[in-house]
Chains A and B, each alone.
Chain A
Amino acid sequence: MINLPLLPILIPLLSAVLLMFFPKRIKAQRVISLIAIAGTIIAAIVLAAEVKANGIQTVNLGSWPAPYGIPLVSDMLSVLLVLTSSILTFFVVWYAMIYMDESYERFFFYIGVMFLLTGINGAFTTGDIFNLFVFFEVFLIASYLLIVLGGKGAQLRESIKYLLINVISSALFVTAVAYLYSVVGTLNMADVSQRIDELGSPGIITVIAIFFLIVFGLKGAIFPLYFWLPGSYSAPPIPILALFGALLTKVGVYSIMRTYTLFFYHDQGYTHEILAVLALLSIVVGVVGAIAYRDVKTIIIYNIVIAVGVILYGVAAMTPAALEGAVFYLLHDMVIKAALFLLVGIMMAITGASHLNQMGGMIRDYPRIGWTYFVAALALAGIPPLSGFVGKLLIVQGGFETGDMIGPLLILISSLLVLYSAMKIFMNGFWGTPKEYHGAKAHLANRLWIPAAGLVLIAIVYGVGSEAVYPFIQMAVEPLIDPAIYIEAVLKE
């Protein structure tokens, strides 16, 4: 099937359009959106099998030949990310059906989620740098809707900042694309890579590389550009926060990964050095934030910044092992962050508060939730049989291979502190003296546990079965190490 890469974008898009016709019929909305996401997952699995069997799949929209038309390119990396995003969305929407108030659901919640998924899958799949901008806007506009859903004072205040940051970064994105276009005269990512290679990488390419780093860094929340994240992400309800935390920053990370391995790999001494330093600073700042706060949401939000740092350090190292680790860790982090947000959401549903001082002793009444959280926290920190371990090991190994001592050691130390920050929630929330709970949604806790536990189960399977996943990761990393594979698949010379 030649149009297969289109399906994970088209299914959510068309279902979102369909859902727009009856926004108030909540039951129908729920059923259709679950079916559509399940369809997206199936399409992504079929696509992954196809890519595994026959190599990189491309679709040239409107049958314009490669450098002129807009291509959609599914290599293993993008397929794995599309698959993971779709699976995550499935569980989060399931959770949201139980958790969300009806007033939220009536206000286009499912439609927003479907458009978000369209944009994210599109951004992972597209092979055209301007089209990447368009898909960025698709999921950003959906995220503007979702972040302000509910319309409370704090939400409005935070979404203005979120919107302002993203409007500015979009303008910078257009500017960066303009500079890139003036230098290479093409927008097809494979063609851009080839032209930059022919030009022999003049200094302006390095400038454009830094420009793109600023743009994607704002989306991905790396060190100096993460400042908006803790405030904005604490505003929306938990299921939306889980989607944002697991998916949105990862699109920025993916874009840095893609551009820095495909376009800007010539002058690594400068660009990748900066990326490595910023990644390490992100880890430091994230760890400080995760330890400093006693608000469960804020702790996990700062853990996003840490994970982004760890992944980008792997990208900056640019050795095969480090890149494999980065991809491994990227997929792991998407799953485990969503799971943690969902579990923390259950804690908040029970206690009606998000501060640790108002929690305690929950393990007595909710042992299942407590131990699920415990396993998820171990997986987050990368305790061996669980999913974070392999990725971190490969990143650290790749870091040592480049001769850098500080980076890998910092990542190892940060793992301990991440474990401490996650365990702080466990110790204070589940152990200790029981307190009075005032959560209005406490009766939902056991039903909410099922989708959250499903995600933790995926994380466990992903970790234990990493041997089985490894060939896929290896295949995903091949075009990152050797851009010629990507270029050849797209331009078909």
Chain B
Amino acid sequence: MEILMSIVVGVLFMSAVYLILSKSLLRVIIGTGLLSHGAHLLVLTMSGLKTGDAPVLMDGVSSYTDPLPQALVLTAIVISFGVTAFFLVLAYRAYQELGTDNMEEMKGNDSND
């Protein structure tokens, strides 16, 4: 299972890098989304997937699955939601103001505003 997850993480990172390097702003944002998904899956995988019972305190259960990575991923997902939402709004405003969503045309300096 860990091997499969590692491959999934790798594919996610690969697609994320491809998308982030593209010209369209929307693709870049989707790329950042995929990148953070990859990172979150990596956190879950790195601690070992289900190795015991649910992390609920009960009698007679001695081996628990580590609950900490799930708490971490929950925090990280919330943060990445917030940032992605902000990024989308920013991209829309930039599109309105600059009249383009092409990263190539967003280079340059104040002289060609």
Contact = CB atoms under 8 A, between A and B. Distances in A.
A415 interface: no
B79 to A, nearest CB: 5
Interface in B40-89: 40, 42-43, 45-48, 68-69, 72, 75-76, 79-80, 82-83, 86-87
Interface stretch (A170-178, A249-257, A260-268): A170-178
Interface in A146-160: 148, 151-154, 156-157, 159-160
B106 interface: yes
A415 B45 CA distance: 48
Nearest to A134: B75
A163 B110 CA distance: 19
B79 A160 contact: no
B90 to A, nearest CB: 6
Given A167-B35, A181-B46, 8 more contacts: A157-B98, A164-B32, A170-B83, A174-B76, A178-B39, A178-B46, A181-B47, A182-B48
A50 interface: no
B35 A171 contact: yes
Contacts of B32: 164, 167-168, 171
Determine the main DSSP class of A at the interface with B. Answer: helix
Contacts of A109: none
B46 A179 contact: yes
A171 B79 contact: no
A148 B89 CA distance: 12
Nearest to B41: A178
B94 A157 contact: yes
B83 A141 contact: yes
Interface in B82-110: 82-83, 86-87, 90-91, 93-94, 97-98, 106, 109-110
Nearest to A173: B39
Contacts of A163: 83, 86-87, 90
A430 interface: no
With most chain B CB atoms within 10 A of its CB, the pick from A153, A159, A172 is A153
Contact of B46 (A161, A167, A182): A182
Contacts of A231: 109
B47 A182 contact: yes
Contacts of B46: 178-179, 181-182
Nearest to A140: B83
A393 interface: no
A286 to B, nearest CB: 19
Nearest to A148: B90
A420 interface: no
Contacts of B48: 182
A137 interface: yes
Interface of B: 20, 25, 28, 32, 35-36, 38-40, 42-43, 45-48, 68-69, 72, 75-76, 79-80, 82-83, 86-87, 90-91, 93-94, 97-98, 106, 109-110, 113
A148 B42 CA distance: 32
Contact of B36 (A144, A161, A164, A171): A171
Interface of A: 130, 133-134, 137, 141, 144, 148, 151-154, 156-157, 159-161, 163-164, 167-168, 170-172, 174-175, 177-179, 181-182, 185, 187, 231
A156 B45 CA distance: 37
Contact of B87 (A137, A154, A167, A185): A167
Contacts of B35: 167-168, 171
A160 B75 contact: no
A160 B82 contact: no
A85 B36 CA distance: 30
A478 B35 CA distance: 39
Contacts of B42: 174-175, 178
A168 B31 CA distance: 10
Contact of A151 (B28, B93, B106): B93
Contacts of A170: 36, 79-80, 83
Across the A-B interface, the 5 shortest Cβ-Cβ residue pairs: A182-B46, A156-B94, A174-B39, A178-B43, A178-B46
Contacts of B43: 174, 177-178, 181
A178 B70 CA distance: 12
25 contacts: A134-B79, A153-B113, A154-B113, A156-B93, A156-B94, A157-B98, A160-B25, A160-B91, A163-B87, A164-B32, A167-B35, A167-B83, A167-B87, A168-B32, A171-B38, A171-B39, A174-B39, A174-B76, A175-B39, A178-B69, A179-B46, A181-B46, A181-B69, A185-B47, A187-B72
A30 B28 CA distance: 38
Contacts of B69: 178, 181
With most chain B CB atoms within 10 A of its CB, the pick from A137, A163, A168, A171 is A171
Nearest to B98: A153
Contact of B79 (A137, A148, A152): A137
B36 A174 contact: yes
With most chain A CB atoms within 10 A of its CB, the pick from B20, B25, B97 is B97
A150 B16 CA distance: 31
